[in-house]
Chains A and B, each alone.
Chain A
Amino acid sequence: SISSSAASESDSEQLQKEQHARSVLREGFLRCLLSMTNKKVQFQMYENVKVEATFGASDIDVLNFQVSDLHTPIGVQKEALIRCQDVISFTFDI
């Protein structure tokens, strides 16, 4: 692909703006995860399942949450991983 220098300049400016926005947003999200550590979190999942657990950590690409004391309908699971794909939303108090 051939691009004029003017085009590539405005492209890189656009890219820089986008990267800045990305970093601001990611920082906000990471602060949210940080403030959630060791707190009781209510997860709303598919099939109308609601569970509560103590939040531990998330992997960087937000695919799994590590939680403790997961209260499920069939008992309490001491340690668990929750697949983020199964989660609709979650809430906690700050």
Chain B
Amino acid sequence: MDCDWPLLGPLRWLHYVNKQVKVRTGKGDEHSGWLLSVDPVSASAVLLTFSETAASVRVVMGHAVKEVEVLREADEVTAERLRAALLPPSPPSLDP
């Protein structure tokens, strides 16, 4: 989708969350990954890519985003993995 990405606004950014997307930058680079979030202040897109053993995050600054294309939606397993990706490790139990 060709769009003025920084101007889309939170409701339309939210549509892209948890989807596999391809982000094209003004410099012609392409980055694919699962969209974890979009910073509503800077419009920066947070992309997660993962394999069996490793995961990495790429943030594309909002001002550099030219185009965002949705590739596919997350299945149950992937959606769960995306939810857990940036959560802190669970705090120690306070039960006696």
Contacts and interface: CB of A to CB of B under 8 A. Distances in A.
Interface of A: 17-19, 21-22, 24-29, 31-32, 34-36, 44, 46, 60-62, 84-85, 87-94
Interface of B: 9-11, 13-14, 17, 25-27, 29, 31, 36-42, 44, 46, 54-61, 63-64, 85-88
B10 A21 contact: yes
A66 B29 CA distance: 25
Contacts of A35: 57, 86, 88
A61 B42 contact: yes
A79 B64 CA distance: 25
A82 B5 CA distance: 23
A11 to B, nearest CB: 14
A66 to B, nearest CB: 16
B11 A32 contact: no
A32 B42 CA distance: 14
